[in-house]
């Protein structure tokens, strides 16, 4: 695992990205989102969610325009849809994952509409609720003010059952209800239902990765 340089074919530029080479028996997943300690605020406007924010080696959102292009690159290079994997861990150390065989987002003109299907895993198919939804932020919200209510950008439908960009739980003062990183059926994974402390969203890597020196 480490930093790699990814060439974005539609923009003729490269971006640095963290690639995870240690996901079970699989290798080469590109990290597009990561929550680990709450140091980065995810309560941000549309322009930040489009361009990206944070650090690839810490808390991170790679940017909707880059997610669109990375999925486009994968479709072009592999002849199929990009794969998405979501890894989750709660404050008691219980882990689960959700994997989707087909993942893409639309253009900015289409609101970066989510397309996701082909679930497998242990966390539950909660992202299916957001399928075919456009992305919303607190300053660009057509989903009944869900982004303002949830305090984060996401693909909302009825304020979603999964919203992984929500506020990070503070030690000694967890965020309850909707005001947190949310994977709503976590009680099926851990009946104690503690807060999530780690979240990572990854796309399957491209074959032409070049490791940064």
In the chain, where are the structural domains located? Answer: 2-211
User: Is residue 82 predicted with pLDDT exceeding 90?
Assistant: no
Architecture per CATH, domain 2-211, reads as Alpha-Beta Complex (3.90)
Cα dist from 66 to 11, 27, 32, 71, 126, whole Å: 10, 21, 9, 8, 23
Q: Look at 4-8, 14-18, 106-110 and tell me which has the smallest mean pLDDT.
A: 4-8
- What pTM value is reported for the model? 0.87
Placement of tokens 């397309």 in the chain:
115
Please tell me the distance from the alpha carbon of residue 79 to that of residue 164, in angstroms, as a whole number: 29
**Residue 58's pLDDT band (cuts 50, 70, 90):** very high
Which pLDDT does position 158 carry in this prediction?
Answer: 78
Which pLDDT does position 80 carry in this prediction?
Answer: 57
């Amino acid at each position: 695992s480490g930093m790699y340089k990814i060439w974005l074919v539609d923009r003729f530029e490269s971006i640095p990205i963290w690639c995870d080479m240690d996901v079970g028996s699989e290798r080469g997943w590109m990290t597009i989102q990561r929550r680990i300690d709450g140091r980065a605020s995810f309560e941000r406007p549309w322009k930040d969610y489009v361009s990206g924010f944070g650090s690839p080696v810490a808390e991170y959102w790679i940017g909707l325009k880059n997610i669109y292009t990375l999925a486009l690159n994968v479709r072009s290079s592999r002849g199929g849809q990009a794969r998405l994997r979501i890894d989750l861990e709660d404050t008691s150390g219980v882990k689960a994952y959700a994997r989707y065989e087909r993942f893409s987002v639309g253009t900015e003109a289409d609101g970066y509409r989510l397309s996701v299907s082909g679930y497998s895993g242990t966390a539950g198919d909660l992202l299916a609720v957001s399928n075919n939804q456009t992305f919303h932020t607190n300053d660009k919200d057509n989903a009944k003010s869900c982004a303002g209510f949830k305090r984060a950008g996401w693909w909302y439908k009825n304020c979603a059952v999964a919203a992984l960009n929500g506020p990070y739980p503070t030690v000694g003062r967890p965020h309850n209800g909707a005001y947190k990183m949310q994977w709503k059926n976590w009680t099926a994974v851990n009946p104690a239902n503690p807060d999530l402390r780690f979240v990572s969203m990854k796309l399957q890597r491209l074959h032409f990765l070049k490791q940064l020196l």
